[in-house]
A and B are shown apart, each in its own frame.
Chain A
Amino acid sequence: MTLVKQLSVMVENRVGRLAEVTGTIGEAGANILGFSIAEGENFGIVRFILDRTDEAYAALKANGHTVSCSDVIALPIEDNPGGLHRVAARCAQLGVNIAYAYAFRKGDGAVLVLKADDALRSISLLKGDGFQPLDKKDLV
């Protein structure tokens, strides 16, 4: 299955907290390929796609951060008008529910990171529909 590992870290809403997380990731020698921040009321969840996920995970744990590793789908999208829409519209037709999503640029195109409710079912639906989800090698 072509799923990508994502690290999520809980960060309290206070000055300097994000820097503690990014500092730890940097020291672990991991490069951030893409990330997003979801804001709650007094805390946020920062999600990272990294090249050295395992090292960053261990380092974050060791530094006392609340971190979880989960599977997400990474889809290549065209970096032009309607690029995101083509994927979103297909997901809608296929009945793939998106919990959250974010994107980052990669080469000439972009990568859309999707968290779908049922990752395995969603990815097989997308593959069946001609999408080619990326794996870690494609991203680094």
Chain B
Amino acid sequence: MYWNARMECMPKEELKRHQFRELKTLVYRLYSFNNFYRDRMKEQGVHPDDIQSLEDIRKLPFMHKQDLRDHYPTKLFTSTRDEVVRYHVSSGTTGKPTLVGYTAQDIEFWTDSLARALTSIGIGTGDVVQVSYGYGLFTGGLGLHYGAERVGATVLPASVGNTERQLELMIDLEVTAIACTPSYMIHMGEVAKKLGIDFQRDTKLRKAVLGAEPWSEGMRQHIQETLGIQAYDIYGTSELSGPMFTECEERNGIHVWGDVAIVEILDPETEEPVPEGEEGELVITVLKKEAMPMIRYRIRDLTYALEEKCECGRTSARIGRISGRTDDMLIIRGINIFPSQVEHTLMNIPEVGEQFMIILDRKGALDVMTVQTELCPDHFSDKMSDMMAIKKKIDSDMKKYLNISVNVELMDPGSLPRFEGKAKRVIDKRVF
């Protein structure tokens, strides 16, 4: 079943012509109305008239996350405040967040993209969808909420946390599908087991739409086997609007709707396309976006693309599971964290030095982040209560600036590794 059979199954050549027309319109519009992008194009020596084919997209300048930060909050917007109906915010590297704005039409595009995606998974009228992504500044909760309502499902806006109650509601309301992070899914499974709940016997849950953090095929197998459900990968970032694209029932790549976005996979060094099927850096141009257009946005995720028509009949390009990143961004419990944020936080605490290590691990299903930092020798006290007060201060500053709870370990001055050249401050022990 398709949500929009014409667009989803449009023959490849026709789809490419459609993409070219949309791209051309977008570039003209941006050149006319967006100072930032016009300046970028001029710097690169490219004019909208130079875009003569879909391949000419490669003449266009890139956009980076830094551009969003540099133009915080709304300087990249091409819509007026009156036209913007919503903001979402994601955390930034040095306390500076990334803001995304949406017109009513942007919310519509986003919702429609997810309606197609959920339909391709077989979720629709008759389903009860538990949305266990965070509601609020994060895009996951509201995005899935709108998408699931659009396809006619009944939505349970559970958000995150209070797992026992979530399980109770899942049983009582006969939830058939859930959207959450893969680690939260595993956590729910573990809590259920403790409570003597058997997903197969006691719930009607059959499908899980999982994403917002890296996960692996192994994790998918584990979730499917232990819970007896089918798990589907979902992809997006706030800059693209939020979670936008999922696998279909074939589960052979994530469908990126051709009329919504153009996918490029580039060698991160040479910035040239890699051969189809080979891994490279994902660069996305969103064709349908009003308030904050994204052209050739370098998401920094590594994946590969599949161009041939899917078994399900859909013709859009598909991308594989995200295998890593080209920068040092960490995703912890669905939250983006850069080591520079940790450094920045520590630099403002006089009781500790500038050396630190980040250790990531899993406790049960949940990510645990430990920050080791060296005590500044002048602040060493023979009283444990003084030392614990320092630790507490670091705990609360970390929580304030990173938005997640961190285990802080005060270390002996001089005990952390020193690096010559590129520092390797992150030890990731998580198994995806």
Contact = CB atoms under 8 A, between A and B. Distances in A.
Indicate, yes or no, whether A interacts with B: yes
Interface of A: 6, 8, 10-12, 38, 40-43, 45, 47, 64-68, 70, 99-100, 115
Contacts of A66: 375, 377, 380, 412-413
Given A8-B380, A43-B410, 13 more contacts: A6-B382, A12-B412, A12-B415, A40-B387, A40-B410, A41-B391, A41-B409, A42-B411, A43-B412, A45-B384, A64-B413, A64-B414, A68-B382
A70 B381 CA distance: 9
A10 B375 contact: yes
6 contacts: A8-B380, A10-B412, A10-B413, A12-B415, A43-B387, A68-B382
Contacts of B411: 12, 42-43
Contacts of B385: 99
B371 to A, nearest CB: 11
B387 A11 contact: no
Contacts of A8: 380-382
Nearest to A38: B384
Interface in B366-410: 375, 377, 380-385, 387-388, 391, 409-410
A8 B387 CA distance: 13
A45 B410 CA distance: 12
Nearest to A7: B382
A115 B382 CA distance: 9
Interface SS of B by simple majority: mixed
Contact of A42 (B382, B384, B410): B410
A100 B415 contact: no
Contacts of B410: 40, 42-43
A136 to B, nearest CB: 18
A55 to B, nearest CB: 19
Contact of B384 (A11, A12, A40, A65): A40
A131 to B, nearest CB: 22
Nearest to B409: A42
B183 to A, nearest CB: 24
Contact of A68 (B380, B388, B409, B415): B380
Given A41-B391, A66-B375, A66-B377, A47 B382 contact: yes
Contacts of B413: 10, 64, 66
A99 B384 CA distance: 9
A12 B412 CA distance: 6
B382 A45 contact: yes
Given A40-B388, A66-B375, A99-B385, A10 B409 contact: no
A64 B412 CA distance: 9
Nearest to B413: A66
Contacts of A11: 412
Nearest to A39: B384
Contact of B387 (A12, A45, A65, A115): A45
Contacts of B412: 10-12, 43, 65-66
Query: Which interface residue of A42, A64, A67 has the most chain B CB atoms within 10 A?
Result: A42
Contacts of A99: 383, 385
A70 B382 contact: yes
Contacts of A40: 384, 387-388, 391, 410
Nearest to B384: A38
Contacts of B414: 64
A70 B386 CA distance: 14
A3 to B, nearest CB: 13
A65 B380 CA distance: 11
Contacts of A43: 387, 409-412
Contact of A100 (B375, B380, B383, B409): B383
Contacts of B383: 99-100, 115
A58 B341 CA distance: 37
Nearest to B376: A66
B363 to A, nearest CB: 15
Nearest to B383: A99
Nearest to B378: A68
A65 B411 CA distance: 11
B374 to A, nearest CB: 9
The 5 closest A-B pairs by CB, nearest first: A8-B382, A42-B409, A38-B384, A66-B380, A70-B382
